[in-house]
A and B are shown apart, each in its own frame.
Chain A
Amino acid sequence: MPWDVVAKILFMLLVVMAAILPVITWIERKQSAVMQDRIGANRADIGGLTVLGLFHPLADVAKLFAKEDFVPAGANRFMHLLAPVISIVPAIVTLAIVPFGGLYVFGDSHWNLVIADLDWGLLYVFAVGSLATYGAVIAGWASNNNWSLLGSLRASAQMISYEVTMGLSVVGIFMVFGTLKLTDMSFAQDTTFRLLGFIEHFGWVDELPAFLSWIQLPTWGIFLQPLGFIMFLTAIMAENKRPPFDAPEGESEIVSGYHLEYSGMRFGLFYTAEFLEIPVIGMIVTTLFLGGWSIPFVPQETLIAAIGGVFGEGLATGLCMIAHVSVFFVKVIVMIWLQMTIRWTLPRFRYDQVMDLCWKIILPLSLANVFVTGFAILVVRSVV
Chain B
Amino acid sequence: MIETIAFYFLSAVAIVSALGMVLNVRNTVAGAMSLVVTMIALSGVFVLLQAHLIAALQIMIYAGAIVVLFLFVVMLLNLRTDEFAPSRQPIVKFLGAALAIYVGIQFLGQIELGLPAAVETADDFGNYRMLARTLFTDYVLPFEMASLLLLAAIVGAVILAKRRVS
Contacts and interface: CB of A to CB of B under 8 A. Distances in A.
Contacts of B30: 76, 79
Given A79-B33, A119-B52, A156-B68, A131 B75 contact: no
Contact of A123 (B63, B65, B71, B128): B128
Q: Is the interface of B mostly helix, strand, loop or mixed?
A: helix
Contact of A127 (B64, B68, B128): B64
Contacts of B75: 137, 141, 149, 152-153
B72 A130 contact: no
Interface in B81-116: none
Interface stretch (B13-21, B53-61, B134-142, B143-151): B53-61
A157 B69 CA distance: 8
Interface string A139-158: 00100000001001100110
A297 B59 CA distance: 39
Interface residues of A, number: 27
Contact of A120 (B40, B63, B128): B128
Contacts, number: 70
A153 to B, nearest CB: 6
Contacts of B52: 118-120, 123
A163 B33 contact: no
A156 B74 CA distance: 13
B160 to A, nearest CB: 17
B33 A127 contact: no
B119 interface: no
A231 B56 CA distance: 23
Q: Chain B, interface size: which category?
A: 20 to 34
B10 interface: no
A124 B53 CA distance: 9
B56 A120 contact: yes
B72 A123 contact: no
A177 interface: no
Contacts of A129: 64
Contacts of B71: 137, 141, 156
A123 B127 contact: no
B33 A160 contact: no
Contacts of A79: 29-30, 33
Interface in B34-50: 36, 40, 43
8 contacts: A79-B30, A118-B52, A123-B53, A123-B56, A123-B128, A124-B56, A137-B75, A153-B76
Contacts of A156: 68, 71-72
Given A153-B72, A153-B75, A180-B128, A134 B36 contact: yes
Interface in A224-254: none
B56 A133 contact: no
Contacts of B57: 123, 127
Contacts of A180: 128
A6 B128 CA distance: 29
The 5 closest A-B pairs by CB, nearest first: A130-B64, A123-B56, A127-B59, A127-B60, A127-B56
Contacts of B76: 153
Contacts of A304: none
B33 A138 contact: yes
B70 to A, nearest CB: 10
Interface string A106-136: 0000000000001110011011111101100
Contact of B69 (A138, A141, A160): A160
B58 to A, nearest CB: 8
A180 B127 CA distance: 11
A176 B134 CA distance: 21
Nearest to A130: B64
A133 B128 contact: no
Nearest to B43: A127
Interface string A300-325: 00000000000000000000000000
A180 B7 CA distance: 26
A79 B29 CA distance: 10
Contacts of B69: 160
